[in-house]
């Protein structure tokens, strides 16, 4: 296992194309789930341990900005695995830019803030509520977890499991989560269909109220 990890750090491990694509898809799924778990715990603490909130706008426990943000970190740091401090800084900066412009874009289109750090604990250094020092610091740490824990673990599974099992599992999970995301982002809005927040609110789940 130690040799495998060292080979990963040295970029010796180079899976064939079909396996690599499947690794990418699984990273997207796991990162989105990871982000959902983080926000589920954080907003429970933020609310004074009083309520659990369903985070994101999907039926499944998955938040897309974490999913795709992980790919940005991976792309920017894949040749820098021997420099963890640089990986942290790049993760810190790149996710801050992504978060700020994602929040700003949503606000300009809908008039709503899907998150507002001005109203949360540890929101110091907030920039219009779209990004704060706590959020980007956490994302920088997540970048380290991605590069030094999640990715080598997924690489290991990809090479140890039967090839077809890994590929089918990764593709199936990705299609399910992506379908959920597309339905709630596009179809629910275009055709006035019930989205995840509507359904979950109707059965008693707590959702954070958006601010203007």
Q: Partners of 131 in the beta sheet?
A: 127
* Chunked mean pLDDT (size 10), the chain, 212 residues: 92 93 98 97 92 92 95 96 97 97 93 91 94 96 98 96 97 98 94 93 83 62
What is the tally of structural domains in the chain?
1
Q: Compute the distance between CA of residue 123 and CA of residue 132 in angstroms, rounded to an integer.
A: 6
Residue 10's domain spans which residues?
2-202
- Asked if the structure places residue 188 within a domain, the reply is yes
DSSP 151-198: HHHHHHHHHHS-HHHHHHHHHHHHHHHHHHHHIIIIIHHHTT---HHH
**pLDDT at position 207, please?**
83
Q: Provide the sign of the torsion angle of the four alpha carbons 150, 73, 141, 12, taken in this order.
A: positive
Q: Partners of 54 in the beta sheet?
A: none
- Asked if the structure places residue 148 within a domain, the reply is yes
**pLDDT at position 10, please?**
93
Q: For residue 2, what are its two tokens? A: 């130690």
Query: Any idea what the Cα angle at residue 34 is, between residues 207 and 195, rounded to 5°?
Result: 35
- Asked if the structure places residue 208 within a domain, the reply is no
Full-model pTM? 0.93
């Amino acid at each position: 296992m130690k040799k495998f990890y060292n080979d990963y750090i040295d970029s010796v491990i180079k899976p064939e194309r079909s396996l690599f694509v499947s690794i990418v898809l699984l990273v997207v799924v796991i990162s989105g789930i990871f982000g959902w778990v983080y926000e589920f715990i954080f907003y429970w603490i933020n609310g004074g341990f009083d309520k659990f909130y369903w985070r994101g706008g999907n039926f499944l426990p998955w938040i897309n900005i974490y999913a795709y943000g992980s790919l940005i970190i991976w792309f920017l740091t894949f040749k820098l695995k021997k420099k963890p401090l640089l990986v942290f800084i790049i993760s810190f900066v790149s996710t801050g830019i992504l978060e700020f412009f994602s929040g700003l874009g949503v606000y300009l289109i809908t008039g709503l803030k899907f998150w507002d750090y001005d109203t949360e604990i540890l929101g110091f250094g907030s920039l219009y509520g779209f990004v704060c020092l706590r959020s980007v610091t956490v994302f920088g740490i997540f970048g380290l977890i991605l590069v030094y824990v999640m990715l080598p673990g997924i690489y290991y599974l990809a090479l140890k499991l039967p090839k077809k099992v890994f590929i089918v599992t990764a593709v199936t999970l990705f299609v399910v989560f992506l379908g959920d995301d597309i339905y709630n982002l596009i179809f629910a809005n275009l055709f006035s269909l019930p989205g995840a927040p509507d359904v979950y609110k109707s059965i008693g789940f707590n959702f954070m109220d958006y601010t203007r």
